[in-house]
Chains A and B, each alone.
Chain A
Amino acid sequence: DIQMTQSPSSLSASVGDRVTITCRASQGITNSLAWYQQKPGKAPNLLLYAAAKLESGVPPRFSGSGSGTDYTLTISSLQPEDFATYYCQQYFNIPPTFGQGTKLEIK
């Protein structure tokens, strides 16, 4: 299985901050990467796919980049509704696997 490692595991930030979350795969995944946002008690919500493509309806303050084994999710200006847990997921190989999550908290 491809191991996905996110960093940091938790992050404190303020409204208006720019934040970046990193995801590293144990082998190259050729941009077969998705990012999800999950709020407490809710199902995850797809934000980006193919590493950098924004899902319909997702605000443009979310962006993704990367290649090979290293990928990033950036939120350009944090809004109150962005405080949540974020997961990356590779779909290059079966089984698809997820990072352990990054909890974004209000400073």
Chain B
Amino acid sequence: QVQLQESGPGLVKPSETLSLTCSVSGGSISPDYWSWIRQPPGKGLEWIGSIYYSGITNYNPSLKSRVTISVDTSKNQFSLKLRSVTTTDTAVYYCVRGTGAFDPWGQGILVTVSS
């Protein structure tokens, strides 16, 4: 069955770019939709954006100006870049399959924005 694993730095400085990669195993990244969702400590869930295996993207309007999601089908991976981060971007970041009901989820990676 499909499994997802997030990777990337756990600490990012304010104003810099948060970069994460999600590796998909147990199945092909195509033809499916893939998303990033985040959860600030002790708070609720926020959808960041999604990508189709062909590269078509949708972003949350609240983050659209700072977000880029890309896909590398040869590596069975997709990635997130969030620019100009502030402390409010501190959260557990999850990669997930889908754009409707999300399943499965990666285990999540805590990214802290701090100098």
Task: State the A residues within 8 Å of B (CB).
Answer: 1, 32, 34, 36, 42-46, 49-50, 55, 87, 89, 91, 94-101
Contacts and interface: CB of A to CB of B under 8 A. Distances in A.
Contacts of A98: 44-47
Nearest to A45: B105
A100 B40 CA distance: 12
- The bracket for how many chain B residues form the interface is 10 to 19
Main DSSP-derived SS at the B contact region: loop
B42 to A, nearest CB: 10
Contact of B99 (A36, A91, A100): A91
18 contacts: A34-B101, A43-B94, A43-B105, A46-B101, A46-B104, A49-B100, A89-B101, A89-B102, A91-B101, A94-B58, A95-B60, A95-B62, A96-B47, A96-B99, A96-B100, A98-B44, A98-B46, A100-B44
